[in-house]
Structure formats: C-alpha cells, structure tokens
Amino acid sequence: MEREEIQKRLKKELDKNRYEHTLGVEFTCQALAMRYGYDLDKADLAGLLHDSAKRFEDPVMLQKCLDRNIPVTAEEERDPSLLHAKLGAWMAEHKYEVDDPEILSAITCHTTGKPGMSLLDKILYVADYIEPR
C-alpha cells in the first residue's frame, strides 16, 4: 500500500491529537535517519504506523491480540495499552501490507525496547519520546 493511502486512512482512524503525534514521530524519524545514515523511507513508514493500533480501547486491544494469537504477557494483560505496539505491527503487516521485518520490529518494540535493538528500532523508540508535540 502506498504511503499516501496509509496516511489518509490513519487520518480518518486516529483522533486528532494521536494523528498529529504520529506525524511528529514520522518527521522525527526522518530527521534521526538522516543524522545516522539510515533509509529515510523505512524510518518514515515506521514512524507513520507506530501508533496505528492506539485507536482501540484497552479491552478491545487485548481481545484483538488474543484473537490473532499475538503473545500477551502478564504485564500486558494488566496494562493492555502496552499491546498497541504488538497489535500495531500486526496491523502494519496485515492491514497496511508492510512486509519489511525491520519496520515490523521497530513498531513492535517502540514502547518497551528490547535487547539488541537495530538502528531503526532505536530511531523509532527515541523519536516517539522526543517528537516536538
């Protein structure tokens, strides 16, 4: 799916503040990618899609993960808002047709991080926290 189509869909699906945050993270990902010599298109797409699952309420997000056999930890069951990263990666792959494992990894760990993070994982993780909004 083309980036412009993804952006249009997200604008309809996310609330105004979440959509503006998403654009801020997307821009910040691009800036960090330029600084560290990473692929701008991959960084852009990861930033654009990182919060695509944030439109769901916590109980809905938990149920969607269970229905899709997305592993849920005890911590995530207690705080389902953490699941937006895993569900977002699933959505990126199955709804928005992203098949790049680096992008999917970055979306999956953008909230919690993980050992051995790739450059894109780190770019998205940091961009989500430092975006201007």
pLDDT digits (tens, 9 = 90+) for 90-127: 999 999 999 999 999 999 999 999 999 999 999 999 99
Beta carbons within 8 Å of 62's beta carbon, 6+ residues apart = 72, 76, 77, 80, 83
Taking only the tens place, the pLDDT of each residue in 63-92 is: 999 999 999 999 999 999 999 999 999 999
Single-letter code of the amino acid located at 75:
E
- Cα 63 to Cα 15, 25, 98, 127: the distances in Å are 21, 27, 23, 28
Report pTM: 0.95
- d(CA 73, CA 20) in angstroms, rounded, equals 30
